[in-house]
Structure 1
Amino acid sequence: ELAKNLGCRAILLQDDTASLRPVSEGGSAACDGLEDYCALATKDWDKVAEFLFAGERKAEVRRTTKETDIYVSLNLDGNGHCDIATGLGFFDHMLEQIGKHGGMDLTIRVKGDLEVDEHHTIEDTALALGECLYQALGSKRGIERYGYALPMDDCLCQVCLDFGGRPWLVWDAEFKREKIGEMPTEMFLHFFKSLSDAARMNLNVKAEGQNEHHKIEGIFKALARALKMAVKRDIYHFELPSSKGVL
């Protein structure tokens, strides 16, 4: 309340901002309307120090064309809160894996020409999300830079990445089904290519297994973990992770 009255923002010494949400979303009536004034919610003093020393890593991107209207908001140092609606249920489910398992707050709102097909919605979402990642990383000082393999039932999925500034995609994953949910399997490669281009990162994806749903979900979860690993920041070694001095 003091921050609101002063016209500034506050650090809330709680695990999250649950109490600050509107009453309709389970928040406290006494704190209703204060969420916008909370810059950070944590009981971890290392996170407080990192925030004060190195600043926020948030970005918003609006991409509007004749084919799509996309809004993406990203907080690299969030708590995995997601609000995603692309018009494609399975695509929403996959994008949620990035936020949830990457520990990032992620909002994606898409109005696409689904009456034509799914192509533009998926491709343009990847471009907007990649640009958001690029902007949120900022100078990249102190980040780990590199990122993960994980099993999912019958599948083994590996996603390795490098935020080195040079986009590249290696894709080694085959799908036998034409679609999973409403999402054409041919668009998986296209999504990751567009994402790597816009985020200016190397991306190496490999997956093996029998169940197509598990395979692609494992890839998205591995991507999320790779991102979480790569964007981790060390304020005590706050320098560019590059012998060239530039990323």
Structure 2
Amino acid sequence: MKRSASVQRQTAETQVSVTVLLDGIGTQTISTGIPFFNHMLSLFAAHGFFDLTVQASGDIDVDFHHTVEDVGIVLGNSVNKALGDRKGIRRYGYAVTPMDEALAHAVIDLSNRPFLVFNVPSIPAAETGFGVQLAKEFFRAFAVNCGMTLHIRVDYGENEHHVIESVFKAVARALDMATSMDDRITGPLSTKGCI
């Protein structure tokens, strides 16, 4: 069964279209109008082995927030839709990922109980205009709309680019683990019988 989905969202502020294939090889076509965000989404696809297409336009002349948040919403909806009834998935995933001096942890439960814990230190903003707070807004929108509990922690890091990149890579790797199918799991991985 092909686990893929396409979702679109149009508001007065943004237009976003996302297609995701969970069992991909990491190919990506990303265009958000925000170069650093494009880079983060590309490496998210590559390190999670998701085939990902993101086309987004928004009022980035105002700021990046609307576009980044709406991409998180649509990506979350796409992954949620691709997971279907969540039968046979491992449900839990985790990863610890370095990027030079930065070290990020990500832990995921695809529980349909959305929650974000984002324990990432504030760091002086990089020249990209894409800071830690913007990353938090993306992951909040992504977690809520995907139906996942997502814990992110950065132990240390000095360069904001490295910190954010280590987070995106860790979340991608954890999500790859959580969405993986396991032949031992015949239904949803829950004693309740549903997720």
2:12 alignment partner, one of 63, 66, 70: 66
Structure number with the bigger relative contact order (C-alpha 8 A, sep ≥ 6) is 2
1:145 paired with 2:116, answer no
What's 2:192 paired with? 244
* Cα shift at 1:180: 4.7
1:89 to 35, 41, 51: 35
Distance of 1:196 and 1:242 partners within structure 2:
19
Q: Is the 8 A contact 2:109 2:178 kept in 1?
A: yes
From 218, 221, 225, give the equivalent of 2:166. 218
User: Are the aligned partners of 2:123 and 2:159 in contact in 1 as well (CA < 8 Å)?
Assistant: no
- 1:143 is displaced (CA, Å) by 0.5
Query: Please, which of 216, 229, 240 is the counterpart of residue 177 of structure 2?
Result: 229
Unpaired runs of 5+ residues, structure 1, are 1-54
Taking the aligned partners of 1:112 and 1:231, their CA distance within structure 2 comes to: 30
Letter in 2 for 1:241: L
Q: What corresponds to 2:103 in structure 1?
A: 156
Cα offset, 1:181, TM superposition: 1.0
Q: How does 1:109-188 map to 2 (within 5 A)?
A: 109-147=55-93, 148-188=95-135
In the aligned structure 1, how far is the partner of 2:46 from the partner of 2:127?
A: 21
Offset of 1:179 from its aligned partner? Answer: 4.2
Partner residue of 1:103 out of 45, 49, 52: 49
Query: How many residues in Structure 1 have an aligned counterpart in Structure 2?
Result: 193
**Is 1:201 equivalent to 2:148 in the alignment?**
yes
Which residue of the partner structure matches residue 19 of structure 1?
none
Q: Quote the Cα distance in structure 1 between the aligned partners of 2:131 and 2:164.
A: 12
Q: Which runs of 4+ in 1 moved over 6 A?
A: none
Distance between the aligned counterparts of 2:39 and 2:173, measured in 1?
Answer: 16
Q: Point out the structure with max Rg over C-alpha.
A: 1
Give the Cα–Cα distance (whole angstroms) in 2 for the partners of residues 56 and 162 of structure 1. Answer: 22
TM-score by length of 1: 0.76
RMSD: 1.1
Contact 1:176 1:212 in 2 (8 A): yes
Structure having the larger proportion of residues in helix: 1
- Could you tell me how far 1:161 is from its partner in structure 2? 0.7
What TM-score, normalized to structure 2?
0.95
Deviations 1:148-201 (A, max 9, x none): 112222111000010000001111101322345132432111111111110010
Contact preservation (8 Å) 2:21, 2:82: yes
In structure 2, the residue matched to 1:189 is: 136
Match of 2:145, SS?
A: helix
Q: Secondary structure at the match of 2:151?
A: strand
Distance across 2 between alignment mates of 1:180 and 1:135: 35
Q: Which shifted more, 85-94 or 168-177?
A: 168-177
Q: Which residue is equivalent to 1:56?
A: 2
Aligned-residue identity in percent: 40
Q: Which amino acid aligns with 1:186?
A: Q
